[in-house]
Each structure stands twice: as structure tokens, then as C-alpha cells.
Amino acid sequence: MNRPKFKQTEIGEIPEDWDVQTIADLPIDIIDGDRGINYPKKNEFENRGFCLFLNTKNVPGEHFDFTECDFINEERDRLLRKGKLQKGDIVLTTRGTVGNIAYYHKRIPYEHIRINSGMVIIRNGGEKFDTGYLYHLLKSPLVKQQYLSFATGSAQPQLPIRDINKIKLTVPPILEQHSIAKILSDLDEKIELNHQMNKTLKSIAQAVFKQWFVDFEFPGYENTKFINGLPDGWREGKLIDVCDIVMGQSPPGETYNESGDGIVFYQGNRDFGFRFPVPRVYCTAPTRTAEALDVLISVRAPVGALNITLEKCAIGRGVAALRMKRYSNGFLFYFLSTRKDLWDRFNSEGTVFGCLNKTEFQKIDLIIPSDIVLRQFDTIIKSIEAMIHKNEVEIRLLVEIRDSLLPRLMSGKIKIN
């Protein structure tokens, strides 16, 4: 077997049959958003409409997030000259958090999308590059460190287009680009499929919760007597009646580390994922802890974000841990998910940082179902939560594999035949 030969370049060793070229030298177009007089004003955005108008919040990392979207109408869209996406385009953030990437692939449901002035479109304009390879290359450590080196400004970093054109890319033979893109795209698709499955499972669980505990259409409700508007055996109560509450407390700063010493430490909303927090910081001397499968809630702005911890963990003052006194925490999680009205009050009190303390938790009203209904719901919700957990574990494993492969594939350290 012949070992591949490498050559030294300005960005490190690469295989002899690869090139290094700047974006300016390649058939790649950099397109910015329209900044002229027709740029939409704040009061012209709508909650839905003809054209999705991207903000940097919609590109939080390596994908689009359409949780909160702004739209413009068709008339405003026609007035804009630049910044409209085509399928296959790549979006790169150039202001604030520089270097976030998203790929406008065929499965994204929006047909009309424009970018704002905090990002650019990167469009593959020729056959020298596989677009999938280009997308993964642009989010690789090899290129991300170049974004950061070119970014200017400390309070609000910016990456000018002239500097994007200076970024150096590795250029393998086109067939090898296809193979690299296929491997990474297959991993991305499986990760995305698991994310979509978890969103669907969450929606199912929320629908069951609403049907049973808001609409009172639980199993056997047709034959249940209602007394003062509540099913027989149900009662009004407070959150403290059904769960234990542990308010977080920050340990001494010198006990923090990112090397895995001690137990994982969650400080607030920054650590939260879709359902489970993502380990980032560890602590060797925790002062307050949560147990595995406790519900974690952000108690400082933004108040009300929810997660479930997968392991025993330390919790800082931005987090509280809640645990049902009986049954699993499924009922508790979905009940807290319905209290957006309460969290919004804390987030809009006029203070810089909304804050939820233990006394406020104890005062939260809720309707406490009968034991038999809670037991039935617990059985259903446990199976749904187990599937969400399984998918999340698989997501994290696939992300680890993909992120380990990415720099090796992009530097040719792993060769694809």
C-alpha cells in the first residue's frame, strides 16, 4: 500500500495533489445584504409573511434556527437589490459572533429568504468546488481561526468582505471533495433527523399534557364527576406541594475548570441545549447539586428556560433544580413549559435582570391531578422521554465523531479513495 505524500504550505501540511487557494482565487461569490434606503425599518417586520429576513439570532452556530423569525412583505422584498438566498447558498455571520455558518439546503421549507447586514452569502459559482465540501470546510477549525484573525473590533467584532476573500482554503481533487462531503453530510443528516424526531416527540408530549391537564380530557373523563370545575379527586395547590426545589449557589471561582475535574457545573441558560444541558465547566467543590433527571430552570434572565440534567451536577445561582416528590419529572417539566405567562412577567419587570427566587416558586399555583391520572401520564411520558434521551445520546456521539473527523478530512490526514 502506497502512503500518501505530503507537502508543506502556509496553512500546514496537505497531500501533494491538493492545492491551497484564497476565496478570491476561486469561483466563489461573496454577497452582502442590502444596506440602502430600502432596508426594512423595525416596525416593518412581521411575524409571518412573504420573505424570511434573517437576523444573526437565526444563525446561532452551524445551522439555521427558525424559532423566532422576522418577515417582510412581497412589496418590501421587491425593493431590495441584494442579499437574497438561492438553494445551495451558505450564510456566514460577519458581525457580533463572527464565523457562524448555515447551509440553505433543499429541505429548508422557506422559499424566499434575505440576509441582514450582519452576515454574507457565500455562493459556489463553479465546478471546482463541491458545495457540501465548501460548507464543511468553512466551519472547520482550519478556516474558523482565520475568521477570528481577520475580525476587527472588541465590543462588536466585524469581518469585512475584503478579508473574507483572503481566507485560504484547501482544494482537493473534485472527486475527493465529493467523497469528503458525502461522509460529513451523511452524519449531519442523521444528526438533523434525530433533532427532528425529538421535536416531534416533544410536541406529542405537550399535546397529551394539554389534553389531559388543561382540557381535562384524560382517560375516563367522560365518567368522572366534576366538582367546582375540577374532576373528582383533583385539587388546587402550590408548586411546593408536588416538588422539592433546590436553588443554585455558585462555588468559589478557583474551583472551576474545563478539564473535567470534579462534577459538571451548570451556571445558567448558556449551558442549556434542546432538552439536556451541554457540559462545559466542571467544579471540584460544589455547594448545591441536582440529581440525574431533575428539571433545571433558568432563574435569571431569561427566566423560565428548561432542561433536564442527565447526571448529578453542580448548579450555580442562575439555575434551580426541581424534583417531583412522587412519580417521574415528566408532569413537572410539561407543567412548567406551559407557564410562559409567568416567566414573561419576570423577564419584563423593568429590571435589567429578571430573577426568580424560592419564595416565588413556592407561590406558583397549579391544579394537582388525582394519583391514578398522574400514574397513567407517568407511564406514557416515561416512554416518550426515554426515546428523546436515546436520540440525544446518539446525537452527541455522532457530533463527536463528525467533529473529530472534520479537521483530519480537511487537512488530508485521512484520505478518501
Identify which has the larger pLDDT, 354 or 414: 414
Q: Are residues 254 and 331 in the same domain?
A: yes
Q: Are residues 30 and 166 in the same domain?
A: yes
Q: Mind spelling out the 3-state secondary structure of 341-360? A: HHHHHHHCCCCCCCECCHHH
| Residue 3 included in any domain | no
| Residue 58 included in any domain | yes
| Residue 153 included in any domain | yes
Q: Residues 93-107: what's their mean pLDDT?
A: 92
Q: Are residues 193 and 293 in the same domain?
A: no
Percentage of residues in the chain with pLDDT exceeding 90? 77
- Would you call the peptide bond into 302 cis, given omega within 30 degrees of 0 as the criterion? yes
Q: Are 296 and 307 in contact (CB under 8 A)?
A: yes
Q: Residues 62-72: what's their mean pLDDT?
A: 90
CA distance 83 to 115: 5
352, 368, 384: which is the final residue of a domain?
Answer: 368
CA distance 273 to 296: 11
CATH of the domain at 405: 1.10.287
Percentage of residues in the chain with pLDDT exceeding 70? 97
pLDDT tens digits for range 284-336: 999 999 999 999 999 987 889 999 999 999 999 999 999 999 888 999 999 99
Q: Mind spelling out the 3-state secondary structure of the chain? A: CCCCCEEEECCEEEECCCEEEEHHHCCEEEEECCCCCCCCCHHHCECCCCEEEECHHHCCCCCCCCCCCEEECHHHHHHCCCCECCCCCEEEECECCCCCEEECCCCCCCCCEEECCCEEEEEECCCCCCHHHHHHHHCCHHHHHHHHHHCECCCCCECCHHHHCCCEEEECCHHHHHHHHHHHHHHHHHHHHHHHHHHHHHHHHHHHHHHHHHCCCCCCHHHCCEECCEECCCEEEEHHHHEEEEECCCCCHHHEECCCCCEEEECCHHHCCCCCCCCCEEECCCCCEECCCCEEEECECCCCCEEECCCCEEECCCEEEEEECCCCCHHHHHHHHCCHHHHHHHHCCCCCCCECCHHHHHCCEEEECCHHHHHHHHHHHHHHHHHHHHHHHHHHHHHHHHHHHHHHHHHCCCCCC
Q: Are residues 156 and 180 in the same domain?
A: no
Nearest to 254 by CA among 282, 280, 231, 235: 282
332, 348, 368: which is the final residue of a domain?
Answer: 368
Q: Are residues 163 and 188 in the same domain?
A: no
Nearest to 298 by CA among 267, 276, 328, 325: 267
| Residue 9 included in any domain | no
| Residue 2 included in any domain | no
Q: Are residues 149 and 48 in the same domain?
A: yes
| Residue 407 included in any domain | yes
pLDDT reported for residue 349: 58
Q: Are residues 252 and 329 in the same domain?
A: yes
Q: Are residues 29 and 133 in the same domain?
A: yes
| Residue 14 included in any domain | no
pLDDT tens digits for range 235-272: 999 999 999 999 999 899 899 999 999 999 999 888 99
Q: Are residues 38 and 160 in the same domain?
A: yes
Q: Are residues 24 and 144 in the same domain?
A: yes
Residue 170: pLDDT over 60: yes
171, 188, 208: which is the final residue of a domain?
Answer: 171
Residue 352: pLDDT over 60: no
Burial 109-122 (b: 16+ CB within 10 A, else e): eeeebbbbebbbbb
Kindly list the distances between the CA atom of residue 385 and the CA atoms of 161, 277, 304, 407, in Å, as whole numbers in the listed order: 45, 15, 20, 34
Mean per-residue pLDDT over the chain, rounded: 91
Q: Are residues 250 and 162 in the same domain?
A: no
| Residue 44 included in any domain | yes
Q: Where in the sequence is the domain holding 197, given as residue range(s)?
A: 174-227+369-417
pLDDT tens digits for range 188-223: 999 999 999 999 999 999 999 999 999 999 999 999
CATH of the domain at 43: 3.90.220.20
Q: Are residues 199 and 57 in the same domain?
A: no
pLDDT tens digits for range 12-23: 999 999 999 999
Instruction: State the total domains in the chain.
Output: 3
